[in-house]
């Protein structure tokens, strides 16, 4: 195969000449070949093959106004982002789905408030056809940015705001946080536990709130001394566990709003010589393989299909873009199911 000399890539013109057809016909063949007679299609295909023709993306974008790329915006001020595999897994699902539709993934990582300017400029610049975003706090400027830029966006996780009147409904993909939490607490109750504590996530994240709601769904009159707030990190889980033990040394079960906090809590219990699950049963949330299986004892937890959620986000966005073109309605948001995975901690 010949080395590509920079700047010498063959053009459609060259392909057309070689195949003995017009540029227009060559273009038709390259784009699917509808309405071109078989022998010509073959000739053009052969020419493409021989010349190693690859369409110039910039030229195509210039006229079609479609970029074939989607931005993935990861905006999260905390360092947490990347020490927890959550985003990575979702990203992977997204990547798979986009690749299957020949769409590129442009990654935008927001490192600080000043970065939003950069992101806004980029999204407004028409570099991408749509965007995928995560983990929004109530006052996140991103939704305003994408709306103003006119970039269709699908969110990962239920946003904390709802669309204003007349605005297109916000599209998102989320796990059934509330249902999963309910299942976890119900399971602990089924085990005969009576003083079930809850280690929650930051109240400005809807996933944390939804899980708390699920907890309350089962424990109708929730005892506030059994509820502690964490920040979805190992450390914060440990701290919350210490607090809880101080307030309620009699607790016999803990439901933590994610695996990382559960692992921190387990560490504290171990340090104090409290047997898990004999004295205190523990259930987490997420089922991150690198965490849930590695704890001591291995963690019973609520599994959500993170990669699947990523894939779904991409699918939703792509389908929406398609429908925009055909004039149909954008598809609805999706809630994916969760399942309880039994291991040794409860």
For a second copy, which residue of 10, 27, 101, 126 counts as binding (CB under 8 A)?
126
Tell me: does residue 165 bind a second copy (CB under 8 A).
no
C-alpha distances (whole Å) from 182 to each of 7, 190, 334 are 61, 12, 19
Min separation Cβ 328 and DNA, Å: 19
Tell me: does residue 107 bind a second copy (CB under 8 A).
yes
Stretch that binds a second copy, among 16-24, 165-173, 220-228, 257-265 (CB under 8 A): 257-265
CB atoms within 10 A of CB 31: 11
User: DSSP assignment of 44-90, as one string?
Assistant: HHHHHHHHT----HHHHHHHH---SEEEEEEE--STHHHHSTHHHHH
| CA-based R_g, the chain, Å | 26
CA-wise closest residue to 72 among 320, 310, 329: 310
Tell me: does residue 325 bind DNA (CB under 7 A).
no
Residue 27 interacting entry, from DNA, a second copy, none, C-beta within 5 to 8 Å by type: DNA
Tokens linked to 339: 């399942």
Tell me: does residue 79 bind DNA (CB under 7 A).
no
Min separation Cβ 318 and DNA, Å: 18
* Residue 314 and residue 268 in contact, taking contact as beta carbons nearer than 8 Å: no
For a second copy, which residue of 31, 56, 138, 279 counts as binding (CB under 8 A)?
56
Tell me: does residue 105 bind a second copy (CB under 8 A).
yes
Stretch that binds a second copy, among 20-28, 108-116, 210-218, 332-340 (CB under 8 A): 108-116
In terms of phi and psi (left: phi > 0; alpha: psi -120 to 50; beta: otherwise), the region of 102 is left
Q: CB-wise, 30 or 191, nearer to a second copy?
A: 30
Residue 11 interacting entry, from DNA, a second copy, none, C-beta within 5 to 8 Å by type: DNA
Tell me: does residue 84 bind a second copy (CB under 8 A).
yes
Beta strand segments in the chain, E: 69-75, 104-110, 130-134, 153-156, 171-175, 196-200, 227-229, 253-256, 281-286, 300-304, 334-336, 338-341
Min separation Cβ 147 and a second copy, Å: 8
Query: Cα–Cα distance between 290 and 260 in angstroms, integer?
Result: 10
In terms of phi and psi (left: phi > 0; alpha: psi -120 to 50; beta: otherwise), the region of 211 is alpha
Using CB under 7 A as the binding criterion, the count of chain residues that bind DNA stands at: 26
Q: CB-wise, 29 or 212, nearer to DNA?
A: 29
Residue 95 interacting entry, from a second copy, DNA, none, C-beta within 5 to 8 Å by type: a second copy
Task: Say which DSSP state 226 is in.
Answer: G
In DSSP terms, which residues pair with 281 in a beta bridge?
253
CA-wise closest residue to 104 among 331, 318, 320, 310: 318
Residue count of the chain, please give it.
Answer: 346
Min separation Cβ 218 and a second copy, Å: 30
Tell me: does residue 31 bind DNA (CB under 7 A).
yes
For DNA, which residue of 4, 52, 64, 83 counts as binding (CB under 7 A)?
64
Query: Cα–Cα distance between 64 and 215 in angstroms, integer?
Result: 50
Residues lying near DNA in the complex (CB under 7 A) are found at: 9, 11-13, 20-25, 27-28, 30-31, 35-37, 40, 53, 55-56, 59-60, 62-64
Residues lying near a second copy in the complex (CB under 8 A) are found at: 1, 3-7, 9, 52, 54-59, 61-62, 65, 67, 69, 72, 81-85, 87-89, 91-92, 95-96, 99, 104-109, 111, 115, 118, 121-122, 124-127, 148-150, 234, 260, 263-264, 267, 270, 288-290, 293-294, 296
């Amino acid at each position: 195969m010949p080395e590509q000399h920079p700047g010498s890539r063959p053009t459609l013109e060259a392909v057309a000449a070689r195949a003995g057809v017009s540029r227009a016909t060559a273009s038709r063949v390259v784009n699917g070949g509808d309405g071109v007679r078989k022998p010509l299609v073959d000739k053009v295909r052969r020419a493409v093959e021989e010349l190693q023709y690859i369409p110039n993306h910039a030229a195509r974008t210039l006229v079609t106004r479609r970029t074939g790329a989607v931005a993935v915006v990861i905006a999260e001020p905390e360092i947490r982002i990347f020490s927890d595999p959550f985003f990575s897994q979702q990203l992977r699902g997204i990547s798979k789905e986009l690749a299957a539709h020949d769409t590129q993934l442009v990654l935008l990582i927001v490192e600080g408030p000043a970065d939003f300017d950069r992101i806004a400029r980029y999204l407004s610049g028409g570099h991408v056809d749509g965007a995928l975003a995560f983990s929004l706090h109530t006052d996140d400027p991103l939704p305003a940015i994408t709306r103003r830029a006119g970039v269709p966006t699908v969110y990962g996780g239920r946003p904390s705001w709802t669309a204003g009147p007349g605005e297109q409904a916000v599209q998102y993909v989320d796990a059934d946080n509330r249902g999963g939490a309910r299942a976890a607490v119900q399971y602990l109750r089924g085990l005969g536990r009576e003083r079930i504590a809850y280690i929650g996530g930051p109240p400005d994240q809807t996933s944390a709130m939804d899980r708390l709601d699920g907890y309350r769904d089962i424990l109708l009159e929730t005892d506030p001394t059994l509820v502690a707030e964490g920040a979805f990190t190992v450390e914060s889980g440990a701290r919350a566990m210490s607090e809880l033990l101080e307030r309620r040394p009699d607790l016999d079960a803990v439901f933590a709003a994610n695996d990382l906090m559960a692992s921190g809590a387990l560490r504290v219990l171990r340090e104090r010589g409290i047997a898990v699950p004999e004295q205190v049963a523990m259930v987490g949330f997420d089922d991150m393989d690198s965490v849930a299986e590695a704890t001591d004892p291995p963690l019973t937890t609520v599994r959500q299909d993170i990669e699947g959620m990523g894939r779904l986000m991409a699918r939703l966005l792509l389908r929406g873009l398609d429908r925009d073109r055909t004039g149909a309605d954008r598809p609805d948001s999706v809630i994916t199911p969760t399942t309880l995975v039994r291991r040794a901690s409860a």
